[in-house]
């Protein structure tokens, strides 16, 4: 599978949707929930805000955001894959008091108006876009001036300034992906889907490169922050 191929990425997430949340919990030892809460803390959602969750998947982040903006706010989750969206809608239906909806849309061309959102999140989506730079430009277009965005994804440790043991972190990341992630996915019949992670990471922009792309996209304030000893990264943006 070629990283960034839109059809292949969509098919991948269609296939893994039924087991996606369980595998996330197993493979991150539940830490992905903590990292997503760090992203939310950066966004500072408040009641009445209108927020976007781009590449929303099964909706766990959108559900958390909706709790923060109720009762008068709104959260819209967008994704190109229908199977994750179906799971997201099922979960949202169990909490009908939340101001939350989901829609099929491409993160590179959402069709929403300029400045639609007070804030936005993208968790594990930027790496899968055909053009991350275009994804950041669309994200900037969607935010009102001063709006905050949080982009959470795997990190390329060799590109992290201040990460003293970058080569060791990179080696551990390879071990984690090859010896833990893929074998665990094999148990669920999905080894090739998770083998894709390492390939996608090799072409993913480093932290400093993401910062440069975000500045070029028009963000006023930009910082890429390594998480989990540099295994993950959080791109913090202000429009």
Between CA 230 and CA 239, with CA 234 as vertex, the angle to 5 degrees is 150
pLDDT (tens place) for every residue of the chain, 239 residues total:
555 566 656 666 666 656 667 666 666 667 788 999 999 999 999 999 999 999 999 999 999 999 999 999 999 999 999 999 999 999 999 999 999 999 999 999 999 999 999 999 999 999 989 999 999 999 999 999 999 999 999 888 775 665 557 677 677 677 667 766 666 667 666 656 566 677 777 888 999 999 999 999 999 999 999 998 888 999 999 99
Query: C-alpha 39: how far from its chain's center?
Result: 10
Angstrom distances, CA of residue 87 to CA of 4, 21, 170: 23, 10, 33
The pair of structure tokens assigned to 12 is 């991948």
Domains annotated for the chain, with CATH where assigned, are 6-238 (3.40.50.150)
What are the DSSP E strand ranges found in 106-142?
117-123
Residues 63-73 as b/e (b if ≥16 CB within 10 A, e otherwise) read bbbbebbbeeb
pTM of the model: 0.86
């Amino acid at each position: 599978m070629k990283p960034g191929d839109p059809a292949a990425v969509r098919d991948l997430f269609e296939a893994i949707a039924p087991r996606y949340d369980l595998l996330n919990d197993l493979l991150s030892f539940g830490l992905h929930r903590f990292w997503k809460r760090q992203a939310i803390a950066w966004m500072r959602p408040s009641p009445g805000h209108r927020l976007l969750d781009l590449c929303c998947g099964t909706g766990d982040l959108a559900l958390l955001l909706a709790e923060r903006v109720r009762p008068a706010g709104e959260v819209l989750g967008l994704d190109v894959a229908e199977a994750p969206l179906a799971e997201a809608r099922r979960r949202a239906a169990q909490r009908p008091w939340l101001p939350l909806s989901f829609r099929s849309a491409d993160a590179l061309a959402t069709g929403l108006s300029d400045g639609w959102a007070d804030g936005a999140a993208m968790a594990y989506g930027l790496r899968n876009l055909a053009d991350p730079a275009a994804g950041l430009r669309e994200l900037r277009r969607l935010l009102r001036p001063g709006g905050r965005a949080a982009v959470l994804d795997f990190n390329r440790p060799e590109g992290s300034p201040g990460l003293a043991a970058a080569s060791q972190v990179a080696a551990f990341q390879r071990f984690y992906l090859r010896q833990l992630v893929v074998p665990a996915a094999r148990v669920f019949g999905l080894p090739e889907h998770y083998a894709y992670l390492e390939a996608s990471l090799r072409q993913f922009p480093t932290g400093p490169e993401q910062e440069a792309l975000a500045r070029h996209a028009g963000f006023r304030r930009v910082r890429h922050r390594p998480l989990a000893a540099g295994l993950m990264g959080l791109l913090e943006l202000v429009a």
